[in-house]
């Protein structure tokens, strides 16, 4: 079922790309920052998140954006933090950008080299040297199961510097990929901020990143995420959440778009310097639940 739907997306994306749409939107200004207190349906969320953050273990950052109205909240949102596997969203964006430039297609095959292997997440690290996978297979594995080997193969294909240059051109000044992905690597090599990820997801949701079909295809891939123990864990199971997690020995992150009917929103939560990863998981779940309840109230108010 998923495979057929995603293949249909591929055809739609290729059709649009051949029509000559712009491959990357220009850099966007930062979303208008308006205190949630000015908006009745969300007035209680900011202080609740602030209190929760003040009690949190380690270092945390939270960015939330109301996709209907542009209202935002940011707690340590511009602080540069370990991205962990959330950096795979920028990798996916660059792959899509180069497809839009007709440099290759989803059907292009990439050969596995030993230098690509990382067994932190995913199964491709156990594949035989010389195995070949399509770009689409690698995208799907990189995002939905966070396969590090798939990510490294795509980074090699599109070029690390190109990923960084595209993020800079989009105004994401805290986001960079200093190396390929290694489970035991230096956390300083993969960096971002909560606000950078919020802005990237905003552009994707608004179809201002690559083009409408390509952005929708990326959202479909993110919605297929199989690591769902953080942002989605305490939310109703019928809500679509297009998101990407990130994990290091002392870091847990989850960033995504919650497609709440009538009140969709972006939520990005970062935790690092954790003594216990369970503390970070609990914190992200709490932030997600508080935010969901606030937006649910807003949706109900809008209907009355």
Residues 6+ apart with CB under 8 A from 135: 95, 99, 104, 105, 106, 107, 108, 109, 110, 154, 157
Q: Is the CB of residue 193 less than 8 Å from the CB of residue 175?
A: yes
**Distance between CA atoms of residues 71 and 291, nearest Å:** 13
Q: Which residue has the tokens 């919605």?
A: 223
User: What pLDDT sits at residue 184?
Assistant: 79
- If one counts every other C-beta atom within 10 angstroms of the C-beta of residue 82, the result is 23
Look up the domain containing 277 and give its range. 2-23+30-303
Strand runs labelled E in the chain = 59-66, 72-75, 81-82, 109-111, 132-134, 176-177, 190-192, 241-248, 251-258, 265-272
Enter the tokens of residue 78.
Answer: 């511009």
Nearest to 169 by CA among 26, 31, 21, 22: 26
Cβ atoms of 73 and 45 within 8 Å: the answer is yes
Residue 14 CA to residue 9 CA, distance in Å, equals 9
Residue 38: per-residue pLDDT: 53
Total domain count, the chain: 1
Task: Tell me the CATH number at 212.
Answer: 3.40.710.10
Separation CA 255–CA 263 (nearest Å): 17
Coil, helix or strand at residue 169: helix
- Is residue 243 within 8 A of residue 222, CB to CB? The reply is yes
What was the pLDDT predicted at 120? 85
Cα separation of 286 and 269, whole Å?
11
Those residues whose C-beta lies under 8 Å from the C-beta of residue 63, and which sit 6 or more positions away, are: 72, 73, 74, 75, 77, 194, 195, 197, 198, 266, 267, 268
Q: Given CA atoms 45, 193, 171, 155 in this order, what sign does their dihedral have?
A: negative
The pLDDT of residue 24 is: 54
pLDDT-flagged residues of the chain (< 50): 1-22, 25-37
**Residue 23 pLDDT:** 53
Res 40: pLDDT: 55
**What is the DSSP code (8-state) at residue 226?**
-
pLDDT at 22: 43
């Amino acid at each position: 079922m998923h495979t057929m739907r995603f293949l249909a997306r591929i055809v739609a994306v290729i059709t649009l790309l051949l029509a000559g749409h712009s491959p990357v939107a220009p850099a966007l200004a930062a979303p208008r920052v308006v205190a949630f207190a000015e908006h009745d349906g969300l007035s209680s969320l900011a202080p609740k998140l602030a209190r929760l953050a003040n009690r949190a273990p380690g270092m945390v950052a939270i960015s939330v954006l109301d996709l209907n109205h542009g209202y935002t909240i940011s707690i340590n949102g511009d602080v540069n933090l370990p991205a962990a596997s959330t950096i795979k969203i920028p990798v996916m964006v660059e792959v899509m950008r180069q497809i839009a430039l007709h440099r290759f297609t989803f059907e292009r095959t990439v050969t596995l080299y030993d230098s690509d292997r990382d067994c932190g997440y995913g199964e491709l690290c156990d594949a035989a040297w010389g195995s070949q996978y399509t770009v689409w297979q690698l995208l799907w594995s990189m995002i939905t199961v966070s396969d590090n080997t798939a990510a490294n193969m795509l980074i090699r294909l599109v070029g690390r510097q190109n990923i960084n240059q595209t993020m800079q051109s989009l105004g994401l000044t805290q986001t960079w990929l200093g190396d390929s992905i290694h489970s035991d690597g230096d956390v300083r090599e993969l960096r971002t901020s909560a606000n950078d990820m919020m802005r990237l997801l905003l552009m994707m949701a608004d179809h201002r990143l690559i083009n409408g079909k390509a952005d929708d295809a990326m959202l479909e891939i993110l919605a297929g995420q199989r690591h769902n123990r953080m942002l989605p864990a305490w939310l109703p199971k019928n809500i679509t959440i297009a998101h990407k997690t990130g994990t290091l020995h002392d870091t847990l992150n989850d960033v995504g778009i919650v497609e709440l009917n009538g009140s969709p929103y972006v939520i990005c939560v970062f935790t690092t310097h954790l003594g216990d990863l369970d503390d970070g998981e609990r914190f992200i779940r709490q932030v997600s639940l508080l935010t969901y309840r606030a937006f649910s109230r807003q949706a109900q108010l809008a209907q009355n």
